[in-house]
Chains A and B, each alone.
Chain A
Amino acid sequence: MIEDKRVFTTELAVIGSGLTGMAASIYAINRGISTSLAGNTGAIAYTTGYLDLLGKADPSSCTIFADPWQAIASLRENQPHHPFARVTDEEIRLGFEEFTAFITSCGIKYSSPQEHNVMALTPAGTSKPTFSVPATMQAGVEAFAAKKHCTIVDFRGLRGFSARQFVANLQSEWPRLEAARVTFPNMEHGEIYAEVMARALEVPANREALAQEIKAVAGESEVIGVPAVLGMHNPDEVMADLARLIGLPIFEIPTMPPSVPGIRLREMFEQVFPQKGLTLVPQQKVTAVDFKAEQIQLSLRDNFGPITILAKTVLLATGRFLSGGLQAQHDGISEPLLGLHVSQSDSRDDWYRQYYMDRAGHAIHLAGIEVDDQFRPVDAHGKIVDKRLFAAGVMLAHQDWIRGRCGAGVALATAYRAVNEAHKLLQTA
């Protein structure tokens, strides 16, 4: 087979297609920047679908912040190197609004972020603070807040989601909560998978059959909760149709990963981005980046052969250990693609505390890429590596997205700023 030599020329090359890379692509598209997106999908299939801004400002306390803006103000004081300290509230707001508006327009409706965090439900029957939820989960937030009479329905054969567990853990604060189990239509035996169920519910006949099953167990409930399986490409329509058939509102609860809400986002982006003129090279890892004087050259390859992307600016958003953006060796942490300086503690002994659930969190999560106020990576002496290189997302140092409940917040806010900075640079060049 003769391999094609494909060369793409863009103004901005985004490396990494997790939440940060996708958000950056949206911001770039909206600004008319010609953009390519490459790199591994990252951890997006592990997301719940919830977009957290900031749930905890001080890792050592368990105060859940209802007002994320107050939490951010407090965090800026206590953690002056946190990425949130380099962006304004206005930028965070605009970043969220632009992102949720875009995905809503593409068929996955998200609640427009309000002033406050909401308490969203987890598959274990706990709740967590988040900022924006998919429309398919909105009724769950409201039902929980109002303690409505609700039946949680689970499915025979779907592992890791037990309505009984959900109810057992929430019943003390949510009295009129009940559990029921149904058989998913045409999946009577063996293990069944959320992704397969979601695709099946795109078919109207399956919705009708499922609605019959759910109606039979709904009792006096005002609202129905199910694991997140309500369709893959048109979740809002699937939800509305099921609600109509059952005669009750219905909402989704996230499942264990890989979860449908994350896969929905990924598939939607992969479909929409090329239509919007973005050069998408999905699922392929960038293997080399060469900063030449006139342009930056990215090398990668797919099944059809090598690909070269020539870009004027680069945004690195390759994530942390799970996505391969950072690598931990027994003697230190490195950034494998560009060999960037990684801010980290002196010894492996400091990476993790003795107690896993220690409220103070673990130092390894604070390690990462150091940037300046324009989100350009800097070396160990604080000198920028290249004025055309930007970095964003959870690979940045001085934030613990897990314990802070701020993963989407860091992704969107830093991508927003970094793309705006790249835009400025492109305009002046």
Chain B
Amino acid sequence: MTTSAAGQSPDSVPRTVETEVLIIGGGATGTGIMRDLALRSIHCHLIDKQDLCAGASGGNHGLLHSGARYVFSDPHSAVECREEGAILKRLAPQCIEETGGLFVAVAGDDEAFANNFANLCEAAGIDCQEISTDEARKLEPHLSADLIKAYLVPDATIDPFRLALENVNHARELNDSTYHPHTGVIDFEISEGRIKAAICKNHHSGELLRIVAKQYVNAGGAWAMDIARLAGCDDVSLLYSKGTLLITNDRLTQRVINRLRPPADGDILVPGGTVSVLGTTSLRTDDLENSRPTIDEVNQNVIEGTAMIPSLADARYIRAFARIRPLVQNGGAGDDRSVARSFSLKDHEDQGLDNFCTITGGKLTTFRLMAEKTADLVAKRLGNSNPCLTATTPMPAGTSCRWTEPGASPKYWYEANNSDDMILCECEMVPQSAIDQIVQCAPGAEKEMTLEAIALRSRAGKGPCQGSFCGIRIGSYLYDRGYYTDRTGLHHMRDFFSERFKGMRTIIWGQQAAQMELAEALHCGLLGLDCLDDVNPSTENTQAPNQHQEDK
């Protein structure tokens, strides 16, 4: 297959870079493979058509499973989770909060199911301790008075953005492996059973880049099937499950709270720094590019979650998000949540390629193991016999990666005690110095960074105002520092607010309605961002919403 989908002949591609391995997809798995390979002294380039954790890696609860969730449906995954969770807690503590978890059943839930839980956990080697419902409510006062069963398990939370940033940062430090944000593969040059090059496009600049590698790894997550097909492989078959989650303004519990029943809507509440994340719904979809939460999904999560945590009914929500989860199709029917959550590594050799592989399925908790298996295959093909080191090498904490941690910004800011270092995001206390550091040296940093890219690498815009104020201040600061020099900066601001809005649209009631009214008065009434000069009014409504989608 040497024909080019985008009509680009290789001759017209201006720049070629060479590397040992090209990894496609900057989620937990892709970045994990990058670090794993770098630890084996293998150089790689990583590309993502959006940015780090743009897919399912960034759109989940941030739950580091103890494995207890899977003891009913998938005992093999349960054991994997237990083992991987223990490794990550030991080696990457900066990404993890060891919150502990509770499984709770409420009146009306199946008691026989609940009674079997401890035995199944024991069989999988997972610590599980039954406690009285009174004790559970003492530990977590927001729990329902209708509790009938409660078990403590070693669940934890993990920050996938920090994790991906640390992976990329460590790989860069180890052997100068390189990450290219918003760069997607648009074509493969294939001959004689090998991929010779990947033609990649920078979706911001439009610039083409030809990457010549010895091995190509498809870690495209939900997009892995499309990428495999671009390389002529039709042996990757995925189901898409859309999950919608909600973020509350306050942290409601100290621990992860799981509903002790077969997996269903709104049955997990996970703390994440200063907030809690409620979810998820699960809906089969074919549409990869328009994963927006709906009002019904939001309402469903709240209704179901209220059975465990009644205060979820009146909580202030600051965001809802939906992401597509890829599930490896195995012919089975039924609920997508009962599909085995194990992963699949395809070597594509029966498709006539010997330097391409696809890793897909799995879950955030087992990303390291998925990366290890993939890197084993790649290293073997390269004749590299260095062993995997990710199960034994601690993840160094990169200074430019630390800004995603809730509460980290105010701490560093306070310690530095520099009154001239002004706070730009007041909700999350992100100072100017954090923005400077991110723009200059965070993984994927560029000359003219978008506000979304900065927000991904920090807590900016994650608080109750969802960036409506700090987006203006950070934009202003970037102009002031000369990073923005013309109206492009205003477009970045508009795009950032539009992107944040997607996550707010379905939860605008109560205080968020006031917040949103103020935001729109500022953005449109005062700054006129709804009327930026270059947008053609007759086409805007159809084009502008897709602008982000193209970047995926």
Q: Is A32 an interface residue (CB 8 A)?
A: no
Contact A159 B498 (CB under 8 A): no
Q: Is A285 an interface residue (CB 8 A)?
A: no
Q: What A residues does B485 contact at CB under 8 A? A: 168
In B497-515, which residues have CB < 8 Å from any A CB? 497-498, 501-502, 505-506, 508-510, 513-514
Given A357-B494, A402-B524, A407-B525: A320 in contact with B517 (beta carbons within 8 A):
yes
Contact B419 A403 (CB under 8 A): no
Q: Please choose the segment from A138-146, A265-273, A345-353, A379-387 that sits at the chain B interface, where 4 or more of its residues have CB less than 8 A away.
A: A345-353
Contact A321 B498 (CB under 8 A): no
Q: Please choose the segment from B105-113, B128-136, B149-157, B529-537 that sits at the chain A interface, where 4 or more of its residues have CB less than 8 A away.
A: B529-537
What is the bound-complex CA distance between A204 and B203, given in angstroms?
A: 55
Contact B541 A355 (CB under 8 A): yes
In A308-339, which residues have CB < 8 Å from any B CB? 320-322, 324, 327-330
Encode B481-499 as 1/0 by CB contact (under 8 A) with A. Answer: 0101111011001100110
Contact B473 A159 (CB under 8 A): yes
Given A159-B424, A189-B420: A355 in contact with B545 (beta carbons within 8 A):
yes
Given A126-B527, A165-B484: A354 in contact with B505 (beta carbons within 8 A):
yes
What is the bound-complex CA distance between A356 and B484, given in angstroms?
A: 23
Contact B541 A160 (CB under 8 A): no
What is the bound-complex CA distance between A45 and B502, given in angstroms?
A: 28
Q: Is A359 an interface residue (CB 8 A)?
A: yes
Contact B513 A356 (CB under 8 A): no
Q: Is B245 an interface residue (CB 8 A)?
A: no
Q: Is A132 an interface residue (CB 8 A)?
A: no
Q: Is A89 an interface residue (CB 8 A)?
A: no
Contact A189 B498 (CB under 8 A): no
Distance (Å) between the CB of B102 and the closest chain A CB? 27
Q: What B residues does A355 contact at CB under 8 A? A: 498, 541, 544-545
Encode A367-411 as 1/0 by CB contact (under 8 A) with B. Answer: 000000000000000000000000000000000011101010000
What is the bound-complex CA distance between A359 and B545, given in angstroms?
A: 12
Q: Please choose the segment from A19-27, A60-68, A78-86 that sits at the chain B interface, where 4 or more of its residues have CB less than 8 A away.
A: A60-68
Q: What A residues does B545 contact at CB under 8 A? A: 354-355
A61, A352, A360, A403: which contacts B505 (Cβ < 8 A)? A352
Q: What B residues does A330 contact at CB under 8 A? A: 299, 302, 509-510
Max chain B CB contacts within 10 Å: which of A122, A128, A169, A189?
A: A169
Distance (Å) between the CB of B273 and the closest chain A CB? 24
B294, B302, B480, B532: which contacts A165 (Cβ < 8 A)? B480
Q: Is B472 an interface residue (CB 8 A)?
A: yes
Distance (Å) between the CB of A405 and the closest chain B CB? 7
Q: What B residues does A162 contact at CB under 8 A? A: 476-477, 479-480
Q: Is B526 an interface residue (CB 8 A)?
A: yes
Q: Is A161 an interface residue (CB 8 A)?
A: yes
In B219-246, which residues have CB < 8 Å from any A CB? none
Q: What A residues does B522 contact at CB under 8 A? A: 46, 256-257
Encode B451-494 as 1/0 by CB contact (under 8 A) with A. Answer: 00000000000000000010011011101101011110110011
Q: What B residues does A352 contact at CB under 8 A? A: 501, 505, 508, 516
Q: Is A364 an interface residue (CB 8 A)?
A: yes
B294, B472, B501, B506: which contacts A256 (Cβ < 8 A)? B472
Q: What A residues does B423 contact at CB under 8 A? A: 191
Q: What B residues does A360 contact at CB under 8 A? A: 541
Given A190-B420, A329-B510: A61 in contact with B537 (beta carbons within 8 A):
yes
Q: Is B123 an interface residue (CB 8 A)?
A: no
What is the bound-complex CA distance between A401 and B520, given in angstroms?
A: 11
What is the bound-complex CA distance between A247 and B141, given in angstroms?
A: 67
Given A165-B476, A364-B513: A357 in contact with B529 (beta carbons within 8 A):
yes
Q: Is A48 an interface residue (CB 8 A)?
A: yes
CB-CB nearest in chain B for A356: B501
Contact B505 A164 (CB under 8 A): no
A-side interface size class: 35 or more
Q: Is A157 an interface residue (CB 8 A)?
A: yes
Interface of A is mostly: loop
Q: Is A124 an interface residue (CB 8 A)?
A: yes
Q: What A residues does B544 contact at CB under 8 A? A: 355, 357
Q: Is B415 an interface residue (CB 8 A)?
A: no
CB-CB nearest in chain A for B545: A355
Q: Is B521 an interface residue (CB 8 A)?
A: yes
Q: What B residues does A168 contact at CB under 8 A? A: 479, 484-487, 489
Q: Is B1 an interface residue (CB 8 A)?
A: no
B422, B473, B489, B508: which contacts A328 (Cβ < 8 A)? B508
Q: Is A254 an interface residue (CB 8 A)?
A: yes
What is the bound-complex CA distance between A3 and B111, given in angstroms?
A: 58
B-side interface size class: 35 or more
Given A347-B295, A405-B525: A356 in contact with B510 (beta carbons within 8 A):
no
Q: What B residues does A122 contact at CB under 8 A? A: 526-528
Contact A357 B476 (CB under 8 A): no
CB-CB nearest in chain A for B432: A159
Q: Is A222 an interface residue (CB 8 A)?
A: no
Q: Is A358 an interface residue (CB 8 A)?
A: yes
Contact A46 B490 (CB under 8 A): no
What is the bound-complex CA distance between A256 and B530, given in angstroms?
A: 18
Q: What A residues does B295 contact at CB under 8 A? A: 347-349
A124, A171, A254, A402: which contacts B520 (Cβ < 8 A)? A402
Q: What A residues does B148 contact at CB under 8 A? A: none
Encode B399-428 as 1/0 by CB contact (under 8 A) with A. Answer: 000000000000000000001101110000
Q: What A residues does B527 contact at CB under 8 A? A: 122-124, 126
Contact A328 B509 (CB under 8 A): yes
In A188-235, which residues have CB < 8 Å from any B CB? 189-191
Q: Is B518 an interface residue (CB 8 A)?
A: yes
A127, A324, A359, A401: which contacts B541 (Cβ < 8 A)? A359
Q: What B residues does A191 contact at CB under 8 A? A: 419, 422-423
Contact B490 A124 (CB under 8 A): yes
What is the bound-complex CA distance between A360 and B530, given in angstroms?
A: 10
CB-CB nearest in chain A for B542: A355
Q: Is B11 an interface residue (CB 8 A)?
A: no
Distance (Å) between the CB of B304 and the closest chain A CB? 15
Q: Is B540 an interface residue (CB 8 A)?
A: yes
B472, B498, B525: which contacts A357 (Cβ < 8 A)? B498
Max chain B CB contacts within 10 Å: which of A122, A128, A257, A356?
A: A356
What is the bound-complex CA distance between A352 and B506, given in angstroms?
A: 8
Contact B292 A354 (CB under 8 A): yes
In A152-190, which residues have CB < 8 Å from any B CB? 157, 159-162, 164-165, 168-169, 171-172, 189-190
Give the A-binding residues of B (Cβ under 8 A).
292, 294-295, 299, 302, 419-420, 422-424, 469, 472-473, 475-477, 479-480, 482, 484-487, 489-490, 493-494, 497-498, 501-502, 505-506, 508-510, 513-514, 516-518, 520-532, 535, 537, 540-541, 544-545
Q: List 27 A-B contacts (CB under 8 A).
A: A43-B518, A122-B526, A123-B476, A124-B475, A157-B420, A160-B472, A161-B476, A168-B479, A168-B487, A168-B489, A169-B489, A169-B490, A171-B486, A172-B487, A189-B420, A190-B422, A191-B419, A256-B522, A257-B522, A320-B517, A328-B513, A354-B545, A356-B497, A357-B498, A364-B513, A402-B525, A403-B530
Q: 18 other contacts beyond A62-B535, A168-B486, A257-B522, with CB at 8 A cut-off?
A: A62-B531, A126-B490, A126-B529, A128-B526, A160-B472, A164-B480, A165-B479, A190-B419, A190-B422, A256-B472, A321-B517, A327-B513, A356-B497, A356-B520, A357-B494, A359-B537, A402-B517, A402-B524
Give the top 4 A-B pairs by smallest Cβ distance, nearest first. Answer: A165-B479, A190-B419, A356-B501, A328-B513
